[in-house]
Amino acid sequence: MRVYICFEGSCEPFEVPPDQTVGAMKQMMKNNVLVQLSDGMQQQYLELSYGGAALQDRWALCDVGITSGSAIRCLIKVLKHSEKRPVMRVFNAVTGQTVPIMRSEALPHVSVARLKTVVSMQSGLPVSTFRLSTPAGVQLYDCNQLQDYAIEVGTTLRLDTWDGWVEFLQGCLLGHKLTVQSHLSEKKLVMRFQLQVALYIAASLGHLDLAGWLLERGTHAEKPVGVHPYRQWCHQTAHRDTGKCPIHIAAESNQLLILKLFITKNLLTLACRDPGGRDPLKVAIQHGHRDCVRYLANKLCSVVSISKMSLPMRVYLQIKSWVSLGQNSAASNRCQLISAVFTARVGDTLLVDGFNKPNMSSKSRKAMTKPCRELKAKALQPLPPISNLLSVSHLPSLQSGNTGDFKEMHKKKRQDVKSRDDGLLDKISKDDSSLSKFTLPPITRECIPRPNSSHILTASLEPLSHHCGRTPRENAIYCLTIASTFTEKPWLKQMSIARTLIRKRVHMA
């Protein structure tokens, strides 16, 4: 029977028996039509298709319904060696998916930092939000190579994020604004870091609504993501990509709409540099994104009109950066006390690689809040008497069951505290008769021992007592009394005034 073979725009007739196999047809094509297949790094092979389906070599033509006059399509397929099998895989605990890693260079000599960069590009997560570990649970550190952990080809690594961040990162990856907002941390330092991470992910995946909402909340596209506040003392050894800004990842991911949003919000993003010293235009050029390159180049070559004069965009950006630096410096000098609130303080968590128990095990927020609730419930239960911590020589016997002496002791203690506060108020009123009286609730748990860090706080408050001549409680009553004189202010505003007065006295001490 006669069949027609279509190859590269030509159609050649062939006389073949009905029971001819597809493999024999391919060999005939190589001999008669002179189809050349190279044996280099790329493996090539012939594929015959009929009716849109690929024919296997062992099939006979009559068995698949090929009759005389049928047309068979011939194609040359290319199969790269790197596509046969991934070098390794990474299980993402946030999404629950396993991501294949394709690398052409020698695997043992790849650094962990380089591997985290590749994983970050494929997952869309900043490098400061996850860690990699071996199947045995050994954490991989950026300064080492994969050969230091005896990682072989085909190994599946695990990606874990900060505890309580799973739901937050899932909302960022999906672009759900309400999910992101509901899972923000209550700590201001961690919340600011989360907002910067959310803007980075939104810029990487093109979530325009989420990016616009984050910009309205004061998140900046020209600021780097940085490291977690728990790692702020280790920023000198942090991964290089922690210096990337959302504007850079937008140019790298070819997100033109996100670029336009960032630049419209702040023109300084055009001059923002990544850790390699590249601006967004150079990043877009190196990744070959023509639309982003055309837009950024037009912006940088444009002219800005200011008060009846025109300036080139690059000159305007330089002047604007100088003005911004001056404003930030002046604001920091005026608000030293306010800015000091958002820095690290005594008692904050500090993580050092290899010493602390890692807080990146991908625990959900519900799993973290449940033990806290159980702990609170246990705290409400009455505590047993501890003879080695409490001095019970002045307390009545609890075994006698006589509760009258116990109530009388507490009543006497409240009267002593009240008389002490009244004496302090009388002293303040003598100094300034215009001040209104303000009382604090009595201290009823003075016998309960403080936490282990109480000696640090006591040592820190000693200079204040020596400088002011008052105890911290007396100083609080004094500041609250002054603040209560602002009767036209709301109660919360009066409390804010009192906090400001206390903060200033602590700073002066």
- Return the amino acid letter for 149: Y
Position 82 confidence tier, pLDDT thresholds 50, 70, 90: very low
At residue 213 the predicted structure's pLDDT band, cuts being 50, 70 and 90, is very high
Question: Domain boundary residue among 57, 83, 109?
Answer: 83
- State mean pLDDT over 334-350: 56
User: Is a pLDDT exceeding 80 seen at residue 355?
Assistant: no
Q: Residue 43 is inside which H or E element, if any?
A: strand 42-50
Domain boundary among 49, 66, 83: 83
**Per-residue burial over 461-495, b = 16 or more CB atoms within 10 Å of its CB, e = otherwise:** eeebeeebebeeebbbbbbbbbbbeeeeeeeeebe
What per-residue string of b and e applies to 197-217 under the rule 16 or more CB within 10 Å gives b?
bbbbbbbbbbbeebbebbbee
Phi, psi of 42 (to 5 degrees): -105, 125
250 with 210: CB under 8 angstroms?
no
**Where does the pLDDT of residue 417 fall: very low under 50, low under 70, confident under 90, or very high at 90 and above?**
low
pLDDT band at 413 (very low <50, low <70, confident <90, very high): low
The full DSSP string for 429-468 is HHH-TTSPP--PPPP--TTSPP-TTHHHHHHHHHHHHHHH
Q: Is residue 504 part of a domain?
A: yes
Whether residue 497 is predicted with pLDDT greater than 60 in this model: the reply is: yes
Mean pLDDT for the stretch of residues 198-203: 95
Which residue range is the domain that position 423 belongs to? 405-508
- β-strand pairing of 2-7 with 309-312: unpaired
Assess if residue 53 is contained within a domain: yes
Residue 460's nearest CA partner among 349, 351, 335, 347 is 347
Residue 52 located in a structural domain: yes
What total number of domains does the chain contain? Answer: 2
In the chain, what is the straight-line distance between the N-terminal and C-terminal CA atoms, in Å? Answer: 104
Give the distance, in angstroms, between the CA of residue 22 and the centroid of all CA atoms in the same chain. 55
Q: In this structure, what token pair is assigned to residue 339? A: 């800015």
Taking the C-alpha atoms of residue 370 and residue 205, their distance in angstroms, rounded to an integer, is 33
The enclosing domain of 49 has a CATH number of 3.10.20.90
Q: Contact at 8 Å (CB) between 195 and 217?
A: yes
Residue 124, pLDDT > 70, answer yes
Position 288 in a domain: no
Any domain includes 190? no
Q: Is the model's pLDDT at 376 over the cut of 90?
A: no
Please determine, for residue 171, whether its predicted confidence score (pLDDT) is greater than 90.
Answer: yes
Residues 6+ apart with CB under 8 A from 399: none
- Return the higher-pLDDT residue of 103 and 221: 221
Residue 144 Cα distances to 56, 66, 109, 116, angstroms: 47, 60, 10, 12
The predicted-structure confidence for 420-473, as pLDDT tens digits, reads as follows 555 555 555 555 544 445 566 665 554 445 455 444 455 556 666 666 667 777
Q: What is the pLDDT of residue 39?
A: 45
Burial class (CB in 10 A: 0-12, 13-18, 19+), 397: exposed
Least confident of 84-88, 177-181, 211-215, 310-314: 84-88
DSSP classification of residue 139: B
Q: Torsion angle of alpha carbons 211, 217, 218, 221, nearest 10°?
A: -10
Read off the pLDDT band of 167 (50, 70, 90): very high
- pLDDT computed for residue 362 by the predictor: 80
CA neighbor of 362 nearest in space, from 59, 30, 64, 137: 137
Q: At what angle do helices 454-468 and 472-483 cross, to 10 degrees?
A: 60
Residues 6+ apart with CB under 8 A from 294: none
Q: Which of 6-20, 319-333, 370-384 shows the lowest mean pLDDT across its residues? A: 370-384
pLDDT on residue 322: 85
Is residue 365 a part of any domain in this protein? no
Reply yes or no on whether the pLDDT at 113 is more than 80: yes
CA 434/CA 305 separation, integer angstroms: 57
**Pair of tokens at residue 396:** 């009545």
Q: Is 445 exposed, middle or buried (0-12, 13-18, 19+ CB in 10 A)?
A: exposed
Instruction: Using the predicted structure, report yes or no on whether residue 260 has a pLDDT greater than 90.
Output: yes
pLDDT exceeds cutoff 90 at 246: yes
Boundary of a domain, candidates 48, 67, 83: 83
Which single residue is written with the structure tokens 């919340």? 191
Q: Is the pTM of this model over 0.85?
A: no
Q: Does residue 168 sit within a domain?
A: no
pLDDT at 60: 84
Asked if residue 302 is part of any domain, the answer here is no
